[in-house]
């Protein structure tokens, strides 16, 4: 979703901002803009569409100023357009802001501000922030000039420059004005602000939306995502909720709020690897394909070092066997693909550990009153680690006293920081909006968690654990084998590409794989797809089937294989074009399905890890045949940071 970058230093800001925005492109956006201090003025340039369009426009302006802020916008309030794109300016054009998040009370604030004479130029919720800051600033500036007059009279007036304020550790007028303005906001925000009144300075504030700050060779950088800062800074300060940061060309300070006073605090810091995974898609045509092919590596990396000495260990969870043994209920909370990985895990946790497990979409969980007690384990699964609904669910669960684990792909992400323990999925940066390799990382991590719970409950003995672990590890080689021959997938794509709609079916583990397969197809090819547990088909969805209608069946070897085969025949009898994902050696299936994609034989518990691969490839292949943008599907954002 929206992305923020900012820079103040000794080099022209504009190219640095553009480079940062490009690194955030993967998050999804529909317009972009920058504000750069040019001489004594703030120059704003916004464009709809791609960053490259903004970059071309900027070339005409020849901006050289060394301080600026930039933004990619994913429209929530107001259409994607230049007027709604950030940065937004105050009425006098002297203050500029960029904002990530949602201001829930924006309508009320807009009414009040308009009543006070402010003129709005956009339909966004964000614009209220800059007008609030404008009011707060003029009030504080008035008070301060009164004080300065007094100090002048006493011969004690101090110079009013950003650097001297930073050195003194005192908040500037802008920082105070931002802090005051935030006091009126309800919702979530990460904001960066600059003003002509205080050249060379950027003030940042956050609540629930991330912001990180780092010192580089040419100045100080701020961004909403560390991806924008890789290679530029070695370490970042992670701004916490309620903190305000003030950036100047040679350093930055962070303030916390105590009794309405801004007091300097030491921020939490995080080292960066210095590697930007976003840059290179290598030999692959798109990131989605590259990431699909990375899955064998993800499986190996996620398993590495987990089963040394004959026992499964996940130290990051920070719980003893005894504490794990006390857990009597598990909630898996997630959205989208992460939700589908959780559906698989429910079967494993209940099957192996015999602990009741519920899987819930985070946006529902947060508004219910679920039964959560101190012996409940809440597992938040999120690739990005910053999904707003999942974060809200974590907070809610913690208030209710539950232990919360995060399963995430992003080091130091809000999910990681706000959970009691965290498992990293080792997928490395996922750039394509459609999740593929992170699904695999989640499946493997959740499988380990299920095994650990079963081990702690004494339900799985050492020998069984060893056997399971060995089989789990073998999925890496199997994934490689599947990826070597994709011809049958391509045939299935050709047979399905002109359809208007498709149905995915499966049972047990296969039902969760079907859900994820349908989501992939919808996301990247815009072909309508639904997933049903195969047994549900005759309770309604079968009415959709007509000659040529694609039914994609997950029919791998499992206790319900015969049932799935019957469902395939029911679909076939009504003219469906059936594509089946089946286990090597299954000859019966080819009598009933039009296209069969074989995968190697594997235990049912682990079959989702390999069965999903042909469906990921199928979705991408169909999307290519339909001429879609594979990595950045329309309307979608990689990180869903608003509700
Ligand atoms: C998956 O392809 C989607 N991009 C989307 O459903 C995603 O899984 C969902 O938004 C959850 O994101 P998260 O894992 O980062 O929390």
Mutate to test the pocket of ligand 1, among 225, 288, 337 (most ligand atoms within 8 A of CB): 337
Segment among 83-92, 115-124, 313-322, 550-559 with least mean pLDDT: 313-322
132: left (phi over 0), alpha (psi -120 to 50) or beta: alpha
* Distance from C-alpha of 230 to C-alpha of 513, rounded to nearest angstrom: 34
Confidence band for 15, pLDDT divided at 50, 70 and 90: very high
- Give which of 613, 603, 552, 562 is closest to 586, Cα–Cα: 562
Mutate to test the pocket of ligand 1, among 1, 28, 287, 336 (most ligand atoms within 8 A of CB): 336
Return the CATH class of domain 280-484: alpha beta
Residues near 433 by beta carbon (within 8 Å), at least 6 away in sequence:
26, 28, 523, 631, 632, 633, 636, 637, 638
- Give which of 438, 568, 441 is closest to 507, Cα–Cα: 568
The string of pLDDT tens digits covering residues 501-549 is 999 999 999 999 999 999 999 999 999 999 999 999 999 999 999 999 9
- What pLDDT was estimated at residue 168? 65
Residue of the CA atom closest to atom 2 of ligand 1: 434
- What pLDDT was estimated at residue 336? 97
Mutate to test the pocket of ligand 1, among 28, 225, 291, 338 (most ligand atoms within 8 A of CB): 338
CATH superfamily of 485-643: Glucose-6-phosphate isomerase like protein; domain 1 (3.40.50.10490)
Confidence band for 293, pLDDT divided at 50, 70 and 90: very high
pTM of this prediction? 0.82
User: What pairs with residue 361 in β-bridges?
Assistant: 334
> Per-residue b/e over 132-145, b at no fewer than 16 CB within 10 Å?
bbbbbbeebbeeee
Q: Ligand 1 pocket: which residues have CB below 6 Å? A: 335-338, 382-384, 387, 390, 433-435, 523, 639-640
Segment among 159-163, 210-214, 589-593 with least mean pLDDT: 159-163
- What pLDDT was estimated at residue 237? 94
Compute the average pLDDT of residues 618-624.
Answer: 97
For the chain, give the mean pLDDT. 91
The string of pLDDT tens digits covering residues 265-282 is 999 898 886 555 555 788
Mutate to test the pocket of ligand 1, among 640, 641, 643 (most ligand atoms within 8 A of CB): 640
Confidence band for 576, pLDDT divided at 50, 70 and 90: very high
- In this structure, the dihedral spanned by the alpha carbons of residues 384, 385, 388 and 393, taken in order and rounded to 10 degrees, is 140
> What is the number of the ligand 1 atom nearest to the C-alpha of 387?
16
The string of pLDDT tens digits covering residues 223-237 is 998 889 988 999 999
* Distance from C-alpha of 637 to C-alpha of 335, rounded to nearest angstrom: 13
Compute the average pLDDT of residues 307-329.
Answer: 83
The helix/strand/coil state of 47 is: strand
* Distance from C-alpha of 551 to C-alpha of 129, rounded to nearest angstrom: 50
> What is the number of the ligand 1 atom nearest to the C-alpha of 336?
6
* Distance from C-alpha of 144 to C-alpha of 136, rounded to nearest angstrom: 12
> What is the number of the ligand 1 atom nearest to the C-alpha of 335?
11
Fold match between domain 280-484 and domain 485-643: yes
Return the CATH class of domain 2-271: alpha beta
- What pLDDT was estimated at residue 155? 52
Residue of the CA atom closest to atom 5 of ligand 1: 336
- Give which of 303, 357, 326 is closest to 465, Cα–Cα: 303
> What is the number of the ligand 1 atom nearest to the C-alpha of 523?
2
Which helix (H) or strand (E) segment holds residue 362: the answer is helix 362-365
Q: Taking the domains of the chain in order of start, what are their residue ranges?
A: 2-271, 280-484, 485-643
- What pLDDT was estimated at residue 160? 45
Task: Quote the ligand 1 centre to 517 CA distance (angstroms).
Answer: 14
The string of pLDDT tens digits covering residues 142-184 is 776 666 665 666 554 444 444 555 666 789 999 999 999 999 9
**CA 515 centroid distance within chain:** 20
**Alpha-carbon distances of 15 from 22, 59, 67, 439, rounded to whole Å:** 10, 10, 11, 35
Task: Quote the ligand 1 centre to 338 CA distance (angstroms).
Answer: 6
User: What pairs with residue 43 in β-bridges?
Assistant: 36
- In this structure, the dihedral spanned by the alpha carbons of residues 77, 78, 84 and 88, taken in order and rounded to 10 degrees, is -40
* Distance from C-alpha of 359 to C-alpha of 365, rounded to nearest angstrom: 9
Task: Quote the ligand 1 centre to 436 CA distance (angstroms).
Answer: 10
- Give which of 448, 404, 402 is closest to 425, Cα–Cα: 448
Segment among 168-172, 360-364, 430-434 with least mean pLDDT: 168-172
* Distance from C-alpha of 437 to C-alpha of 616, rounded to nearest angstrom: 10
Task: Quote the ligand 1 centre to 538 CA distance (angstroms).
Answer: 30
The string of pLDDT tens digits covering residues 435-455 is 999 999 999 999 999 999 999
- Give which of 398, 402, 635, 404 is closest to 526, Cα–Cα: 635
Compute the average pLDDT of residues 289-298.
Answer: 97
Compute the average pLDDT of residues 15-34.
Answer: 91
Task: Quote the ligand 1 centre to 611 CA distance (angstroms).
Answer: 19
> What is the number of the ligand 1 atom nearest to the C-alpha of 408?
14
CA dihedral (324, 327, 329, 335) positive or negative: negative
- What pLDDT was estimated at residue 593? 96
Is the pLDDT assigned to residue 405 strictly greater than 60?
yes
* Distance from C-alpha of 450 to C-alpha of 98, rounded to nearest angstrom: 43
Task: Quote the ligand 1 centre to 406 CA distance (angstroms).
Answer: 15
* Distance from C-alpha of 269 to C-alpha of 264, rounded to nearest angstrom: 15
- What pLDDT was estimated at residue 159? 40
Task: Quote the ligand 1 centre to 337 CA distance (angstroms).
Answer: 5
- What pLDDT was estimated at residue 442? 97
Residue of the CA atom closest to atom 4 of ligand 1: 434
- What pLDDT was estimated at residue 73? 93
Task: Quote the ligand 1 centre to 162 CA distance (angstroms).
Answer: 41
- What pLDDT was estimated at residue 295? 97
> What is the number of the ligand 1 atom nearest to the C-alpha of 638?
4
β-pairing verdict for 329-334 and 376-382: parallel
- What pLDDT was estimated at residue 158? 42
* Distance from C-alpha of 358 to C-alpha of 530, rounded to nearest angstrom: 22
Confidence band for 141, pLDDT divided at 50, 70 and 90: confident
DSSP-derived secondary structure letter, 40: T
The string of pLDDT tens digits covering residues 181-198 is 999 999 999 999 999 999
> What is the number of the ligand 1 atom nearest to the C-alpha of 639?
15
Residues near 579 by beta carbon (within 8 Å), at least 6 away in sequence:
492, 495, 496, 550, 551, 552, 553, 593, 594, 595, 596, 597, 618
Residue 259 CB coordination number (10 Å) = 5
List active site positions: 2, 638
Task: Quote the ligand 1 centre to 421 CA distance (angstroms).
Answer: 21
């Amino acid at each position: 979703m929206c992305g923020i970058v900012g820079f103040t230093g000794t080099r022209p800001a504009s190219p640095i901002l553009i480079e940062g925005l490009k690194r955030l492109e993967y998050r999804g956006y529909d317009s972009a803009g920058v504000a750069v201090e040019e001489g004594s003025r703030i120059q704003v340039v916004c464009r709809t569409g791609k960053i490259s369009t903004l970059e071309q426009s900027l070339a005409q302006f020849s901006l050289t100023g060394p301080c600026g802020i930039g933004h990619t916008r994913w429209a929530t309030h107001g259409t994607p357009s230049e007027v709604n794109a950030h940065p937004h300016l105050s009425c006098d054009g002297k203050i500029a802001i960029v904002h990530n998040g949602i201001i829930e009370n924006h309508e009320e604030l807009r009414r009040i501000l308009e009543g006070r004479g402010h003129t709005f130029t956009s339909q966004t919720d964000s614009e209220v922030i800059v007008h609030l800051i404008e009011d707060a600033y003029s009030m504080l500036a008035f008070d301060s000039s009164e004080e300065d007059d007094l100090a002048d009279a006493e011969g004690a007036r101090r110079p009013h420059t950003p650097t001297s304020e930073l050195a003194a550790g005192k908040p500037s007028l802008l920082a105070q004005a931002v802090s005051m303005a935030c006091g009126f906001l309800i919702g979530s925000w990460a904001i960066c602000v600059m003003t002509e009144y205080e050249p060379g300075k950027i003030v940042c504030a956050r609540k629930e939306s991330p912001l990180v700050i780092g010192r580089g060779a040419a100045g100080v950088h701020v961004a909403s995502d560390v991806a924008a800062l890789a290679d530029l800074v070695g370490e970042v300060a992670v701004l916490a909720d309620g903190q305000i940061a003030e950036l100047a060309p040679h350093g930055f300070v962070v303030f916390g709020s105590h009794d309405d006073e801004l007091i300097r605090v030491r921020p939490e810091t995080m080292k960066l690897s210095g590697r930007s995974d976003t840059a290179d898609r290598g030999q692959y045509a798109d990131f989605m394909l590259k990431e699909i092919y990375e899955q064998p590596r993800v499986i190996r990396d996620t398993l590495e070092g987990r089963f040394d000495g004959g026992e499964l260990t996940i130290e990051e969870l920070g719980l003893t066997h005894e504490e794990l043994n006390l857990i009597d209920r598990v909630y898996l909370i997630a959205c989208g693909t992460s939700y589908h990985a959780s559906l698989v895990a429910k079967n494993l946790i209940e099957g192996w550990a015999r602990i009741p497990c519920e899987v819930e979409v985070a946006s529902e969980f947060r508004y219910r009153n679920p039964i959560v007690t101190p012996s409940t384990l809440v597992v938040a699964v999120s690739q990005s680690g910053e999904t707003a609904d999942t974060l809200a669910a974590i907070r809610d669960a913690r208030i209710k006293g539950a232990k919360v684990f995060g399963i995430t792909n992003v080091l130091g992400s809000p999910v990681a920081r706000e959970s009691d323990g965290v498992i990293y999925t080792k997928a490395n940066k996922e750039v394509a909006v459609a999740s593929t390799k992170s699904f695999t990382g989640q499946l493997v991590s959740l499988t380990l968690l299920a095994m650990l719970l079963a081990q702690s409950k004494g339900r799985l003995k050492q020998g069984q654990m060893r056997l399971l672990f060995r089989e789990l590890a073998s999925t890496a080689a199997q994934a490689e084998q599947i990826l070597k021959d994709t011809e049958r997938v391509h045939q299935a794509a050709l047979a399905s590409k002109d359809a208007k709609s498709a149905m995915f079916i499966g049972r047990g583990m296969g039902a969760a794989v079907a859900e994820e397969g349908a989501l992939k197809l919808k996301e990247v090819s815009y072909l309508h797809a639904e997933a049903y547990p195969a047994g549900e088909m005759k309770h309604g969805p079968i009415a959709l089937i007509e000659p040529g209608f694609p039914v994609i069946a997950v029919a791998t070897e499992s206790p319900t294989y015969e049932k799935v085969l019957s469902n395939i025949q029911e679909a076939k009898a009504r003219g469906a074009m059936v594509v089946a994902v089946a286990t090597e050696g299954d000859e019966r299936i080819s009598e009933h399905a039009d296209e069969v994609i074989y995968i190697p034989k594997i235990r049912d518990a682990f079959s989702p890890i390999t069965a999903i691969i042909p469906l990921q490839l199928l979705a991408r292949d169909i999307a290519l045949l339909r001429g879609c943008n594979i990595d950045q599907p329309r309307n979608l954002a990689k990180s869903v940071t608003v509700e």
